[in-house]
Structure 1
Amino acid sequence: MPEESIDHIDFDELKKRAISKPLVEHIYTADPSAHYFNGKIYIYPSHDIDAGEAFDDLGSHFAMEDYHVLSMDNIESEAVDHGVALHVKDVPWAEKQMWAPDAAHKNGKYYLYFPAKAHDGIFRIGVAVSNTPVGPFIPQPEAIKGSFTIDPAVFEDEDGSYYMYFGGLWGGQLQRWRTGKFNAEHPESPTAHIPEDNEPALLPIVAKMTDDMLEFAEEPKEVQILDENGNLLLAGDNERRFFEASWLHKYNGKYYFSYSTGDTHFICYGVGDSPYGPFTYGGKILNPVVGWTSHHSICEVEGKWYLFYHDSSLSKGVTHLRSVKVAEISYREDGSIITLNPYN
C-alpha cells in the first residue's frame, strides 16, 4: 500500500486482515535477514528510530544507529530480543544510518554485515565478528575494500562458497556509481543519475567473499535480471526492475534472486543456474505493504519456506517506524512462487 493511501486506512481493520503480526512490539524493526543456525531461527533486522526529520527520499528520517538480534526457538514461538549487538559509535569508519544488515556463519564464527554512511557521506559496507549468533559483534576498523551502496546479503552455497549481494537506488546511492567512481553532483536529488526509462535498469552487485569472510575475493560485478525474452529489464519497468533489498536462496537446484522494486512496493524474484546469474524474472513474491519500503528475506525452517518482511501497521503508517513479520511461502510444481497478499 503506497504512502498516499495511508490517510484512508482503518488500522484496526487492517490488523484483522493481516496475514501475520509483528514479531516484537517493544521496538520498531525492519529489513529482516533471517537464518536457521544450529536448529534455531535468528533474525538480523535494522532498528527504526525516529530522527525527527521530515520524510525525504534520501532516508534522512531514518535514525538507525544500532542493531538488535531476534531469535525464535521455532516458527510459532515468541521472538526474543537479545539487545544491542552493534552500535554505530563502536564502528570507527561509520558516522550514521546503519541500514539493512545480514549475517553469516562459518567455522564457529558469526559475521554481521552492515551498511553505514562513512564520515564523507558515502555508504560503505562493514563487517563485525562474534563467537555467538546474537553478539555482541566486534567491527573491523575499516569498511570492506571496494564496497559501496547498501543492503548486503550473504549467501552460502552448497560447495562452501559465500557471495555478497548488495545495492540500492536513490538514498542507497547505487546510481552515483555508474562510472565506477562516486558522483557527488546534485547531492540533494535522490534520483539524479538514474537511467532514462528506455535504458537498462541499474543492477544489483555481487562479489565472492574471501575465506576469512572479511573482504571481497574478486572485483564486484553486476547481476543481470532479464525479461522473458532474455533482455535486461528497463529502468521504466518499475514494477519488475531492481531497486534494493537483494536476497538469494536455493530451491530444487535453482538459484532464486529476490529484491524490492522500491517505489512500486513489490518483492519480486528471478531464477538462474548460477549464483552470479543471469536471473530470469519469475514474478512477485509479496504485494505492497503499508509503509513506503518493502524489504525481506527467505529462510527454510524444517522443510518449509518462510518470507520475513516488514510493514508499518504497528506505527499506523509511519513509514520509517516498521515492524518485522513472517509468513509461509509456497512453490508451484514448476518452481514458481505463489504471490502473497499481506492483508486478506
Structure 2
Amino acid sequence: MLLKPAFFRPALVLAAPLALAACQGPASQQTTESATPPAAAKADSAGPKYLAKPLISNIYTADPSAHVFNGKIYIYPSHDIEAGIAENDNGDHFAMRDYHILSLDSIGGKVTDHGVALDTKDIPWAGRQLWAPDAAFKNGTYFLYFPVKDKKDVFRIGVATSTSPSGPFKAEPTPITGSYSIDPAVFSDTNGAAYMYFGGLWGGQLQRWKTGTYDPTAPDKKPDGREPAVGARVAKLSADMKHFDGPVKEITILDSLGKPVLASDSKHRFFEGGWMHKFQGKYYFSYSTGDTHLLVYAVGTSPTGPFTYKGVLMKPVQGWTTHHSIVEFKGKWYIFYHDTELSGKTWLRNVKVTALTHNPDGSIATITP
C-alpha cells in the first residue's frame, strides 16, 4: 500500500480525477447504501467500466481485510485522507491516522461504518502513518493488528484488543517484539494455530531488514537479476495472540521448476499485501507484485511454505496499489480489494468486493476488475 519508487514506470494510466472532495470519517456509526455515488456513475458512462461498485463513499478506504464474525462480514481497511502532502517515493502522502471498521450482513447489502475504532494518538509508541491492518478472534477477544511508524520512523506492528468486532480497540503499550515492516495478515488454521504474515518492500522498509537488523542505509534500488527475491515474513503467534511464538521466517516462492523466484522477476515475486487462505487442505498465499500491478497466488502444503507460484488471480486495478483479502461467506468465496474509482487519485481509494472462483483443479479464475 505504498507508492512506486522512482525507477518504476507502470503502464497504467489513471482516469481523470472525479469531482469528489476528500472527506474525514464520522465519529459515530453510520449506515450507507452500497450504491454507486453520482460522481462514480458519471465516470462509468464516460470512461472505465468497473466490475464492482465502491462499498461506501462517505470516506475513502483501502487495503480491506475481511473476516466473518458472528455471521456477518467485518472489513478492516485503511482510512485514506487528503493530508496535503506531495506524492513521493516513500509514500509519505499515505498519511492515514485512524481506522474505521465496516460491516455487512450480505454481499450487496447495506454497509455500516462503525466510526473510529483506533487512532494514532491512542497508540503510546506510534509516530505516523497507520497503514493496512488485519484482525482475528480468539477466546472472546477480538484482535486488531496494525503497522505504524514508531517515533524513530521505523515501521513496527502493534496489536489492540476489544470485546466487539467493531471496536473500539485498545492498543498494547509496545509493538510486538520482533515485528517490522507493514501489511500484517493473520491466519488461524483448522488446528487452532495462528500465524502472522507481513512485509512490504521499499516504503514498507522490508529490504532494510535483510540481515535481521534494521539498516536505514539499505539502498532502495531494483535488485540484481541474479539475487533471490526478498520474501514476505511469517511468524507463529502465541496462545494469547499478542506475541510471536518462535522466530520470524522468510517465505520462499518457487517457480514451476522448483527454483526460488528471482528479485528481477517482477511479475512473480512478492512485493507487499500478503494474504493466506486455505482451500481443500492446501495453503494459498496471495500477494501483490507491486510495480506490475498484479495480484498473484502460490500454493503449498504448509502454512509457512514453501509455496509454488500458480498464477494471476486479479489483473491491475485503476490506481497504483493493489491490496486484497479473500474470505468464504455462506458457502461462496469473495475477494475484497480497492481501486480509485471515486477520486482518480492513487492515495484516495475505495474498497470493493466481487466473487472469487476456485476451479475444479484448485486453480483460481483470473478476475478483470
- Equivalent-residue separation in structure 2 for 1:262 and 1:14 (angstroms): 28
Give the TM-score, by structure 1 length. Answer: 0.95
Give the equivalent residue in structure 2 for 1:6. Answer: 14
- Equivalent-residue separation in structure 2 for 1:5 and 1:21 (angstroms): 20
- 1:179-209, CA deviations, whole angstroms, 9 ceiling, x for partnerless residues? 11111116xx6x24x5312211100000000
The yes-or-no answer on 1:197 pairing with 2:225 is yes
Q: 1:135 to 1:15 in 2, by over 3 A?
A: farther
Q: Work out whether residues 2 and 290 of structure 1, in 8 Å CA contact, stay in contact via their aligned partners in 2.
A: no
Matches within 5 A, 1:1-150: 2=10, 5-6=13-14, 11-13=43-45, 17-150=49-182
- 1:12 alignment partner, SS class: helix
Q: Work out whether residues 269 and 281 of structure 1, in 8 Å CA contact, stay in contact via their aligned partners in 2.
A: yes
Q: Work out whether residues 298 and 308 of structure 1, in 8 Å CA contact, stay in contact via their aligned partners in 2.
A: yes
Q: 1:63 to 1:8 in 2, by over 3 A?
A: closer
Amino acid of the residue matched to residue 362 of structure 2? G
Q: Work out whether residues 15 and 318 of structure 2, in 8 Å CA contact, stay in contact via their aligned partners in 1.
A: no
Matches within 5 A, 1:166-245: 166-185=198-217, 191-192=220-221, 195-245=223-273
Structure 1 residue 8: Cα displacement:
6.8
Give the equivalent residue in structure 2 for 1:294. Answer: 322
- 1:53-110, CA deviations, whole angstroms, 9 ceiling, x for partnerless residues? 2212211111100000000011121211000000000000111100000000001100
Structure 1 residue 313: Cα displacement:
1.0
The yes-or-no answer on 1:271 pairing with 2:299 is yes
RMSD: 1.7
- Equivalent-residue separation in structure 2 for 1:201 and 1:251 (angstroms): 26
Give the equivalent residue in structure 2 for 1:249. Answer: 277
Q: 1:131 to 1:269 in 2, by over 3 A?
A: same
Give the equivalent residue in structure 1 for 2:364. Answer: 337
Structure 2 unaligned spans of 5+: 1-8, 18-41
Shifted more, 54-63 versus 225-234: the winner is: 54-63
- Equivalent-residue separation in structure 2 for 1:7 and 1:208 (angstroms): 42
- 1:115-142, CA deviations, whole angstroms, 9 ceiling, x for partnerless residues? 0000001000000000000000000000
Shifted more, 128-137 versus 16-25: the winner is: 16-25
Q: Work out whether residues 209 and 216 of structure 1, in 8 Å CA contact, stay in contact via their aligned partners in 2.
A: yes
Matches within 5 A, 1:146-165: 146-165=178-197
Structure 1 residue 5: Cα displacement:
1.3
Q: 1:14 to 1:243 in 2, by over 3 A?
A: farther
Shifted more, 99-108 versus 9-18: the winner is: 9-18
When the two structures are aligned, how many residues end up with a matched partner?
337
- 2:107 alignment partner, SS class: coil
Amino acid of the residue matched to residue 331 of structure 1? H
Q: 1:279 to 1:7 in 2, by over 3 A?
A: same
Give the equivalent residue in structure 1 for 2:36. Answer: none
Structure 1 unaligned spans of 5+: none
- Equivalent-residue separation in structure 1 for 2:74 and 2:192 (angstroms): 20
- 1:12-43, CA deviations, whole angstroms, 9 ceiling, x for partnerless residues? 34777211010000100000000011110000
Q: Work out whether residues 15 and 48 of structure 2, in 8 Å CA contact, stay in contact via their aligned partners in 1.
A: no
Q: 1:170 to 1:306 in 2, by over 3 A?
A: same
Amino acid of the residue matched to residue 314 of structure 1? L
Shifted more, 73-82 versus 7-16: the winner is: 7-16
Q: Work out whether residues 3 and 319 of structure 1, in 8 Å CA contact, stay in contact via their aligned partners in 2.
A: no
Give the equivalent residue in structure 2 for 1:319. Answer: 346
- Equivalent-residue separation in structure 2 for 1:96 and 1:151 (angstroms): 15
Give the TM-score, by structure 2 length. Answer: 0.89
- Equivalent-residue separation in structure 2 for 1:164 and 1:6 (angstroms): 33
Give the percent of matched residue pairs that are identical in Structure 1 and Structure 2: 57
The yes-or-no answer on 1:258 pairing with 2:286 is yes
